[in-house]
Structure formats: C-alpha cells, structure tokens
Amino acid sequence: MNILVTGGAGFMGSSFVRYLIKKKLVDKVINLDLLTYAGNLDNLRDVKDSSRYKFIKGDIKDKRLLADIITEFDVKRIVNFAAETHVDNSIKSPQIFLETNILGTAALLDIATEFDIRFHQVSTDEVFGALDEDDPPFHEKSLYDPRSPYSASKAAGDHLAKSYFNTYGTKITISNSSNNYGPYQFPEKIIPLFITNLMQDKKVPVYGDGLYIRDWLFVEDHTRAIWRILVKGEIGQSYCIGAGNEMTNLELTKKILDLLDKDESYIEYVQDRKGHDRRYATDTTKIQKEIKWKSEIKFDEGIRKTVEWYKANKWWWRKLK
Ligand SMILES: NC(=O)c1ccc[n+]([C@@H]2O[C@H](COP(=O)([O-])OP(=O)(O)OC[C@H]3O[C@@H](n4cnc5c(N)ncnc54)[C@H](O)[C@@H]3O)[C@@H](O)[C@H]2O)c1
C-alpha cells in the first residue's frame, strides 16, 4: 500500500514518515510538503535514501498536483499533517492559516472523495476551546469552541471532514491531540525554545502568571496513535489523543531548568498571549477501548530524551534560531 503524507517535513509529520519507513508498514510514503519556514528536510535525513520514500515539494491546495500524485503512485491513504501551526503567528497574521488549514484541507477532501481514498485529518484538542481547572477533560462529543485563529482554522478543517463524510460518504477519520513534544520540533514552540535558549545561556519567556495547563504527549506516542487509527479506526469517527501529563507551564519550565542545571533566575515573565486558553486536557477512553492505543512514554522519560536530543543535535537547531 502507498500512502500520501502531507506536511511530512514538519515536526509530527516527519516522525510519522520515519516510523512508517523504519517499520516497513507501507510500500511507499509520498511526502508532499511546501517547505514553509517550519518544513525541514533535515528531519528526514534517516530515511531520505530509502526506496520506500519519495519527497514532492508542493502545496496541498494544488488539486491538479494532488490528482497527479494519487494516479502516479496509486495512493490508497492520505494523512494530513500539513498546516500552519503556531498560535502566536495566527494572532499576528490569520490569513495564511485560513488558506492552508481550511482551503488546503478542503482540496485534500475533494481529492479523497474523487478517488475514493481513506483520509485522516490530524487535528488538535484546541478546537474545543479552554477548560477551567476543575472541568472534566475534552472528549469526542465536546462542543467545538475555538478561541484563536489557529484553532478556528483547525476546527473548520474538522467540520469540513465531517461534512464530506455526511454529504459524500468520504472515508474520513479525525484525531484531536494534546500538545506534542520531542526531537525535531521547531524552536518557536515552548519546549524546544526553552531548551535551546538555556543551552545558549538565555532566559526563557513565560507568558502571564505561568499557570496555563497543558497535557504533554511524546511525539512518538502520537505517531503510533495515528497509525492505529488508520488501521483500526472507524470511518466517520474522531478520536481524542492525550497522555494524562497535565502540568502548568511553570512546572514544565522548572523541569527543563533542572535538566539543564539552571536556576529560576532564568525565568522571565512576559506579557500574556492574547486570548490565552487556561487549560487543555483530553479524555482518551475511546481510543484506548476501541483501538487499543495508549501513551507509553512517561513525561520524565520523554523530556529527558528530548533534552538529550537537542544537546546532541545543535547542528539541527542552530540554523533555525
Ligand atoms: N504540535 C502540536 O503540539 C500539535 C498538537 C495537535 C495537533 N497538531 C497538528 O498536527 C499537525 C502537524 O503539526 P506540527 O507541529 O508537526 O507542524 P509543523 O509546523 O512542524 O509542520 C507543518 C508542516 O506543514 C508544511 N506545510 C505548511 N503549509 C503547507 C501547504 N500549504 N502544503 C504542504 N505543506 C505545507 C510545512 O512545510 C511543515 O513541514 C498540524 O496539522 C497541527 O495542527 C499539532
């Protein structure tokens, strides 16, 4: 079976591509990526010479290109990781988020419908909005209540996928994951930003009071979840993915400071993000029961591995900062 992975040069997409190839799970992976500032072919250096791998530079909105790829490679599955992903950028300039995350997803859905191909939409728990400290976690039936241009654009992608399933019978699945971390994450996101700042003896900027709560999932756990959904997931369904590792940004920061032998004088409190969501968390009962997936990497192990990776791979991130 041949699979089209979009956004495979990004953080989570490249983890998925490496996994498929190293485990020999498919005959060929076609990685379609526009190589925006977040796309990086260095993420695929381990697999780039594999006969199972093919890279194509292009835009997910380009339906002619998509149709050519599907035909030429006899693609049977599409997994869409391609997106604009940084919330702060979406607050400054929403337009590109609407184009890629909404129109791009729509183009992929059109092609999946036309060629009758199974399509998986990689989405986020941020589509559900924000939780208070004592609210139960988000689940698959939670109401959508996006609060940033990023999460609104991802919510629109999810709605389109569900509407194509209902209207045309398109074979879709959706996943809504909590925050991922791990190797190859672009150093604009909090964990790699903080690790690399501290390695350069710079301070780490903590938004507001630092008490925003996130659930941190190691990227390789996410990768396994997506593969399980492709193999075992029910068409038309969505699945929440999370790790049960809720912590405040301040707790997270202190763990990173510890691992890099730095003290709290390296914390710099900065002006809060506009519309900052207080807490995200997901209930993973459905994916655990129906698909037999659960996260395996404990946070302390994952963050240690991540810090080690950034220490051993300065060549990778130095050119990105
Ligand atoms: N990072 C997280 O914690 C997280 C959590 C839940 C869901 N997600 C979702 O997972 C997916 C991957 O996130 P990530 O953190 O790996 O993102 P990323 O920013 O690291 O990578 C995105 C990739 O998409 C590519 N891309 C952007 N626009 C494109 C276009 N028009 N055509 C083709 N390729 C394009 C970029 O070049 C890049 O390689 C996204 O859909 C994101 O919304 C991310």
3-class secondary structure for the chain?
Answer: CEEEEECCCCHHHHHHHHHHHHCCCCCEEEEEECCCCCCCHHHHCCCCCCCCEEEEECCCCCHHHHHHHHHHHCEEEEEECCCCCCHHHHHHCCHHHHHHHHHHHHHHHHHHHHCCCEEEEEEEHHHHCCCCCCCCCECCCCCCCCCCHHHHHHHHHHHHHHHHHHHHCCCEEEEEECEEECCCCCCCCHHHHHHHHHHCCCCEEEECCCCCEEEEEEHHHHHHHHHHHHHHCCCCCEEEECCCCEEEHHHHHHHHHHHCCCCHHHEEEECCCCCCCCECCECCHHHHHHHCCCCCCCHHHHHHHHHHHHHHCHHHHHCCC
Mean pLDDT of 110-116: 98
Q: Please tell me if the CB atom of residue 225 comes closer than 6 angstroms to any atom of ligand 1.
A: no
Largest Cα span, the chain: 57
Mean pLDDT of 145-155: 98
Residue 82 pLDDT class (50, 70, 90 cuts) = very high
Question: Would the pTM of this model clear 0.85, i.e. be above it?
Answer: yes
Residue 245 pLDDT class (50, 70, 90 cuts) = very high
Q: Pairing relation of β-strands 172-177 and 238-241?
A: parallel
Residue from 272, 279, 220, 218 nearest 247 by CA: 279
Q: Give yes or no: 201 in active site.
A: no
Q: Give yes or no: 140 in active site.
A: no
* Per-residue pLDDT at 220: 98
Mean pLDDT of 223-252: 98
Q: Best of 33, 37, 85, 102 to mutate for ligand 1, by most ligand atoms within 8 A of CB?
A: 85
Q: Give yes or no: 125 in active site.
A: yes
Q: Give the residues across from 204 on adjacent strands.
A: 267
Q: What is the mean pLDDT of the chain?
A: 98
Residue 219 pLDDT class (50, 70, 90 cuts) = very high
Residue from 83, 208, 78 nearest 152 by CA: 83
Residue 99 pLDDT class (50, 70, 90 cuts) = very high
Two tokens, residue 189? 């996101």
Place of tokens 């241009």: 149
Q: From CA 256, how far away is CA 77, in angstroms rounded?
A: 38
Residue 22 pLDDT class (50, 70, 90 cuts) = very high
Q: How far, in Å, from the CA of 246 to the mean position of ligand 1?
A: 23
Residue 179 pLDDT class (50, 70, 90 cuts) = very high
Mean pLDDT of 211-228: 98
Residue 122 pLDDT class (50, 70, 90 cuts) = very high
* Per-residue pLDDT at 110: 99
Structural contact between residues 213 and 280, judged by C-beta atoms closer than 8 angstroms: yes
* Per-residue pLDDT at 241: 98
Mean pLDDT of 308-313: 98
pLDDT single digits (tens) 255-267? 999 999 999 999 9
Which amino acid residue places its CA nearest to atom 21 of ligand 1? 10
Half-sphere exposure at residue 36, Cβ-oriented, CA atoms within 13 angstroms: 17
Sign of CA dihedral 98, 99, 101, 102: positive
Two tokens, residue 314? 């300065």
Residue 47 pLDDT class (50, 70, 90 cuts) = very high
Q: From CA 181, how far away is CA 185, in angstroms rounded?
A: 7
Q: Best of 4, 12, 184 to mutate for ligand 1, by most ligand atoms within 8 A of CB?
A: 12
Residue from 173, 182, 226 nearest 23 by CA: 226
Active site residue: 19, 150, 184, 280, which one?
150
* Per-residue pLDDT at 46: 96
| Percentage of residues in the chain having pLDDT higher than 90 | 99
Domain 2-181+217-243+279-297 is found in CATH 3.90.480.20? no
Q: How far, in Å, from the CA of 86 to the mean position of ligand 1?
A: 9
Q: Pairing relation of β-strands 267-270 and 28-33?
A: unpaired
Q: How far, in Å, from the CA of 12 to the mean position of ligand 1?
A: 7
Question: Could you state, in order of their start, the residue ranges of all structural domains in the chain?
Answer: 2-181+217-243+279-297
Place of tokens 């029910």: 234
Q: How far, in Å, from the CA of 10 to the mean position of ligand 1?
A: 6
Residue from 300, 321, 19, 14 nearest 308 by CA: 300
Q: Please tell me if the CB atom of residue 2 comes closer than 6 angstroms to any atom of ligand 1.
A: no
* Per-residue pLDDT at 298: 97
